[in-house]
Structure 1
Amino acid sequence: MRCLKCQTHVCKRHNSYRLITRDRLHKTMWLNDYVIKHYRPTKMSPWMCIC
């Protein structure tokens, strides 16, 4: 789960953020069981996410 250019989770240099995956969160923090792979923070625009 890293920036493809810098190999970091949050890259300020390239304005890119990785999506949150289920295996990175505690079980109680995963709010919707129907979402299988990724969450995107609500205030983050889709172009900022690296899929």
Structure 2
Amino acid sequence: PADAIRILLDQRPDAGGLAVPDMPIGSPGMEMGGQSEPFEVILWGDSGNSVFARY
């Protein structure tokens, strides 16, 4: 999601990027008629992975 990217750019953590695994319904590019399911945005990098945001 765009707001997660904005937060990433503001905070500038030591990370490789963000990922949304499994293409959940409602995530960017997977919109389906207003339907959505909860999903996590993962921050990944050399020091490992962690949950960056939940939607």
Common topology (TM > 0.5): no
What TM-score, normalized by structure 2, do the two folds share? Answer: 0.29
Report the TM-score, using the length of structure 1 for normalisation: 0.30
Using CA pairs under 8 Å that are at least 6 residues apart, name the structure with larger relative contact order, 1 or 2: 1
Considering fraction of residues, name the structure with more strand.
2
